[in-house]
Chains A and B, each alone.
Chain A
Amino acid sequence: MVSQADQARELAEHFKKHGYFDRLKSEILSRESNIITNGNVRSSESLEKILKELTAITVKDMVEKDEELIFKNRGPTSALVEAQLLKDNYKKFNEHEDGIDLSRYLSGCLQDPSLYDTIYKEMDQLSAKEHITVDNSANPK
């Protein structure tokens, strides 16, 4: 007998296996929408693209400050720079004038009710499909 706690997890795993999860993820990243940055609203641009631009700009700024960055070993240096960018919930992205509060944006995306509904509906269908249902009669209690 499989426990109920495992049921939820099992359902989630099935959700992932069916590709819904990756689809959601790529949708969030590559969806072209109006993204509000610090300066203005960037319309019809994907988060991925904006992030790449922001990263390039930030790195260039850092190189301008310390040109030795490009003359050092690129692997470790890029790791260090990357760590700087990811530090404090992508704080570095937010410092730029055309930057974005990434953590806030992500949490906003995840708390989107439409996203929740989508997931819920797909879960429902999936549970019916995989026969993962709640069965209280199986409890020994």
Chain B
Amino acid sequence: MSGYNRKPPSYHGPYRSSKYYGNSGEHVYGDERERRGTYSNGNGYDGRYHPSISSHHRNHHPPTRPGHNGHYAPVESSTNHYHSSRFESTNSSSRYSSVAESSTAQVRNSVDSRYSSGPAIASTTNRYSYRETRGSNTLAPTAPSGTIRYQRSVTTAPSIRVAFKSSDVTPDKTEPLNASLYEDDIKRNEVKPELKYNKEYFNTKYHYFDPVTNKLVNTADSGNWNKKKQYPSNGFAVMAPGKGPSHDVQGKSYPRSPNDPSTDPREPTTYLSKVNMTKKKHRMALTLIERLTYDKFSLGPPPSCEIVIYPIDENNNINLINVQDIAIKNYFQKFGTISHFESYIDPNNALPLHIYLLRFSRPDANINDAAKAAYLAVKRHEDKTCVITNCHFKVVPKKSKEQVEDIKLKFIRYNEEQAKLLQKKASVAAENSKGHNDILKASESVSSIIEHKVIENDVNKLSSQEQEAVYNELSLKFNKRSRRIPGDIESKVKNRACLFVSTNFVGFHGMTRADFAQRLRPYRFSHIERHITGIYIIFNDANDAIRCVMRESGRLTIISRGFQRMPIAVKFTLILPSTMHSRFSGHNSKNTRYEVKATKANEPMYKTQEDLLKAATKYILEDLKAALNTDIRRKIVGPTVFDTLNPDYFPDLVAQRKEKQALKEEKKQNITETANTKVLDASFQNDVTIKEQDMDIFKLYGGYLKPQVNRKRRLSHSLHNHSKRTKLELEPMAHFLNEESTSKEQTPLTDINVSPSHHYDDEEEESSSSQDEDEIMENADDISKVFHDDFMDIDKSGITEAGAVSTEPTTPEQEGELGLVSGTEKETTMLDIYKPSETELPIPVYEDDLLGKGQISLQEVQYTIKDDEDFELLKELLQASNNEIESQSVNLIEYELWKIKDYQERKKCDEETHFKLNEGIAYDESLNWNQGSFKTHGFFKVPDRLKQCYLPHRRRIHQPLNTVSHHTNIAHESNEDISSMPLQREDSAKPESSESAAGQEIASSRENRASNRRFQQDIEAQKAAIGTESDLLSLNQLNKRKKPVTFARSAIHNWGLYALEPIAAKEMIIEYVGERIRQPVSEMREKRYLKRGIGSSYLFRVDENNVIDATKKGGIARFINHCCEPSCTAKIIKVGGRKRIVIYALRDIAKNEELTYDYKFERETDDEERLPCYCGASSCKGFLN
């Protein structure tokens, strides 16, 4: 171990000399070893140097564990030491330094597997190696060829091999070295060993071997690595798994014996294959080094800039003839600039060989770029063929002229062979046509015969045998797959000969019937049929078809629309008539007329003229029978039936029919009249009661109104003029927005006697609309001034608390009034009142209503004072004299009283009207403006809570509705006493929907649908009978089921859709109609609408690809607003195979109720993008999206 430890000084110290720098190769070698050791880590090379350890070294250095990379370093260092000692002992002449350097190089080569780098080195090394090897043999006999280095040296250097052979020393012997041999060697080389640093100090401290005496020194100080004898003295051998004495699974070292054959530890079969170690991934192919640019320093020929292009298979390239030089040039121009283009032709026939030579170049004459272009052109087509105009080419780099010549020669020879073949065929055909009739002798000649005969148009002249042969040959040649006519076009083909082109080919190239019709004009084809399987070109004469296929199949070119727009050769499949084909191919075909005729053609049917005439007579009789039947049907029966069915021939039936219809109509009219009279009766009962029709918000849109309205109006006018005026005037305020002119005309009404409600209407209108604002404000201002100036001083409480005062007139009041008016009536009517009573104390005739009241209004006072006595009592009470009263206001008192009374009456009327209009919701007094003019306040926002008082559509009462049937029952009951149901919805309390009318309506709804279905069936039957599609007979089923709806202003947003009659749940209401557009178009339109400021888009998505746009063209279904608690839903249904949007009722919908459905917009994450919802539902989400 000390030797190992002392290695560095021994190396760099006393034994180092200038001439042994060559031996620094050993050092390098050692480094290489270390490097290799590092390299071999995990590669299984560990421990392979064990056998090479000499016994000498083994005695001093413990063996390292197998697999330990650094184990060899001390051994090698000791070897170095030894060699250095040895060579130190030799003459250190200068010539050895070079030798040593060479040796170093040689050793490095041997280690790096680059041994055979140069013969000169090898020759110089041999000598040295010999010496070295011999020295090794002499001084340190190693195990036989244990190391890589020695093995390679042996195998590559014969002198070393000789040295081994000449060595008599057995490597495994451990006997002392022979000194005499060494001396002989010294003598021969005349080198006397001389040790430097042979001093005691160095010897004791650094050396362990004396080369002069050839003995170990300092053995006592050196430790023995194998004191315990645990390692075999002869070293180790590594056995492959499963072999050797131990039969270990894994490879293991064991003491080797000299007789064991040496194995190459690098061989994976011996050691590494089954060792449980990670294998290195060996590369499968050498990695190409980067392409070196060619410059002036480069050796060898410049890189090739030329490529050769030639067809891959000339046989199959039927379109090769279409390939032009320019196409090749254009194709390869994308790789680089072409400086030279050469196309070769066949010297025998001057036809192009379609072999091209291309040379790339660059304007700046940079050969590297040109070479790169050529390389890329070749590389691109290495794996796949080059396809130009549907021809397949091979692209190879041009390596030499001979290569191009070889390719040319190959194609020229091929052409020669083909030409010879054709000549042979032609000669055979010529011989056959000249001499004998036996065409079938040579099968090759048949085609030429066919060609000749068919082209000459004399196939008919062939005998049946010849025809048979011809057709058989044609079938084999042009219909290899035995294609037949599809069943669905058999009737069109009618067993005629036709040419077929498959739909794959036609579809890929985008060819049409017109293309074929144009190109096949010279041939007399009947027509061209397009079928799912392909295109069929039908010929009346089979000979034309044969001639066409012979001439044009594979030759006719049609420009492809799908593939580079190049002319593409078309191959035809010939389908012969089945009679011809069946006889030759053997399959059965249908016995069509044509076939029968054809089969009969060869049979002599009529032997005599008589037979012929009989047959013709038979034909005539058969045809006569058919003709008679046809004539009877077409000329006799048909017209007669049509004429007979004329209703004019049946006047009785027509009259009966008319009577029936008249009766029906009368019945209908009676029903409607009875309904109207009931309505009128109800209206007469209470003039103040506002009829539903008066409140019909849709009266403005007269389209859906029934004719009964006119009659009713006429009657009402004659009976009571005031009711008509009230009806006209009392319309929901929300719908005054719909009619600008109406509001403008009605606003100037100043006759408050006639329509006091207009005052409030205008006030309320101010908050929702700004139109006619000035006039409204003026009126309001005037009226409020009147109130304030004239009456507030008299009795303020009478106005402010008017709402609290009971508005119902009592009977005594009426009596009092009557008493004041007429004295005679008073006497008669008041007689009982003034009748003296028998009581002791006088009993008051009128009850004292004013008892307990704090403030008494003037009117109340007036009502209370019934006679002069009361008046006198009042004067006493007020302590006022008659003069005072007369002087103050006796002139105006009557007027003032009238005004107060009138005001209160109007107020009462307004409240009642308001109560009716707003479905029982009282008017909020806070809406009254008591602080001067409205104008002084400016615009202000009226809260929704207050708007609900006067805008019914602002109010969302989501009360459950009655079903329609129940609804009619209620209507029926309500006829008796409408006033008893003040909270009933107007549609439920509809007086006009009488029992009979409503019942009939519902009953007729089902009947209508059933009759519609029958009508639809009739239409379809007629369509089938007529056999043609007509728009007149097309029926939109959805329109038939549509419910009467209309649009009007909506409180939710702008416009809304309203039901004109009650709709039951699950009923279809209306179809969402519009332009059906695709998704991209809808996106484009949406942007355009936004750009143009059309805020409301009416785009309704049907599915992923289709959108219905009702913005410009569409139905009124687009006005349906969104609601979080919708009354309807939109469903997408299929009608006639098309998806359509239909609105269905989710629940029962009352008349005049706005229709809504949930838009179901996707949730928007961006708050700015969110659309606020104004539906006002109790569960409103606040946003649409």
By a beta-carbon cutoff of 8 Å, the part of chain A in contact with chain B is 3-9, 11-12, 15-16, 21, 24-25, 28-29, 48, 51-52, 55-56, 59-60, 63, 67, 69-71, 73-82, 85-86, 90, 102, 106-107, 110, 115-116, 119-120, 123-124, 127, 132-134, 136, 139-141
Contact = CB atoms under 8 A, between A and B. Distances in A.
Interface stretch (B228-236, B639-647, B916-924): B639-647
A94 B544 CA distance: 54
Interface of B: 463-464, 597, 600-601, 604-609, 611-617, 619-621, 623-625, 627-629, 631-633, 636-638, 640-647, 649-650, 653-654, 656-657, 1021-1022, 1025-1026
B850 to A, nearest CB: 79
A11 B613 contact: yes
Contacts of B650: 63, 67, 70
A133 B609 contact: yes
B642 A55 contact: no
B608 A134 contact: yes
Nearest to B621: A110
A82 B638 contact: yes
B645 A69 contact: yes
B645 A51 contact: no
B633 A3 contact: no
B1025 A86 contact: no
Given A29-B628, A116-B621, A123 B616 contact: yes
A96 to B, nearest CB: 14
Nearest to A117: B617
B620 A12 contact: yes
Contacts of B613: 11, 120, 123-124, 127
A48 B633 CA distance: 11
Contacts of A124: 613
Contacts of A25: 624, 627-628, 631
Given A8-B606, A74-B642, A120-B617, A85 B624 contact: no
Given A21-B620, A110-B625, A8 B607 contact: no
A55 B653 contact: no
A55 B601 contact: no
A55 B605 contact: no
Contacts of B649: 60
A119 B597 contact: no
A140 B463 contact: yes
B640 A8 contact: no
B607 to A, nearest CB: 7
Given A75-B1026, A110-B625, 5 more contacts: A7-B612, A28-B628, A82-B638, A110-B624, A134-B608
Contact of B644 (A4, A29, A60): A60
A28 to B, nearest CB: 6
B674 to A, nearest CB: 30
B653 A11 contact: no
Contacts of A78: 638, 641-642, 645
Given A25-B628, A134-B607, A63 B653 contact: yes
6 closest residue pairs by CB, A with B: A8-B615, A11-B616, A12-B619, A59-B644, A55-B640, A78-B642
A124 B611 CA distance: 11
B645 A59 contact: yes
Nearest to A67: B653
B632 A51 contact: yes
20 contacts: A3-B600, A4-B605, A11-B612, A24-B624, A29-B631, A52-B636, A63-B644, A67-B657, A70-B645, A76-B1025, A80-B1025, A82-B633, A82-B638, A90-B632, A102-B632, A110-B621, A123-B616, A134-B607, A134-B609, A140-B464
Given A78-B638, A119-B620, A4 B612 contact: yes
Nearest to B633: A86
Contacts of A106: 625, 628-629
Nearest to B614: A120
A96 B656 CA distance: 27
B170 to A, nearest CB: 109
B637 A136 contact: no
A6 B613 CA distance: 12
Contacts of B621: 110, 115-116, 119
Contacts of A127: 609, 612-613, 616
B604 A139 contact: yes
Contacts of B606: 4, 7-8, 134
A12 to B, nearest CB: 4
Contact of A136 (B604, B642, B1021): B604
A82 B637 CA distance: 7
A5 B625 contact: no
A21 to B, nearest CB: 7
A5 B619 CA distance: 11
A79 B1025 contact: yes
A57 B624 CA distance: 27
Nearest to A89: B629
Contacts of A76: 1021-1022, 1025-1026
Contacts of B617: 116, 119-120, 123
Contact of B653 (A4, A52, A70, A77): A70
A4 to B, nearest CB: 5
A134 B612 contact: yes
A84 B656 CA distance: 27
